Amino acid sequence: MPSTYNCTGCNVVFDTKTERNNHFRNVCQGLVSVTDLDGTIHRIERIGSKFTCVRCPKAFVRSDKLNMHWKVCMTKDGTESN
């Protein structure tokens, strides 16, 4: 019998981990944490279907896209920090 993978948010069953993880990130994940350069943690809640950056008005459906944007947006000169 093949393995199945349940979403921890809504318990929908998927055939692969990738399908489950993509579903969770795009639909069920309700909160993302990002950290400023000074160590301040910001908790960003999904409102409607999007996560809105706390530093600018840009909004993202996917948490990974917000995280990529955050690396540039959190710096004053627009360069990515490490």
22-60 pLDDT, tens digit per residue, is 999 888 899 999 998 889 999 999 998 899 999 999 999
Average pLDDT, the chain: 88
pLDDT band at 81 (very low <50, low <70, confident <90, very high): very low
Q: How far is CA 31 from CA 15, 28, 64, 74, in A?
A: 25, 9, 12, 18
Q: Which class for 44: exposed (0-12), middle (13-18), buried (19 or more C-beta within 10 A)?
A: buried
User: Could you give the CA distance from residue 63 to residue 82 in angstroms, rounded to a whole number?
Assistant: 19
Please give the single-letter amino acid code of residue 38.
D
pLDDT band at 76 (very low <50, low <70, confident <90, very high): low
The pair phi, psi for residue 29, each rounded to 5°, is -65, 125
Domains of the chain by residue range: 5-73
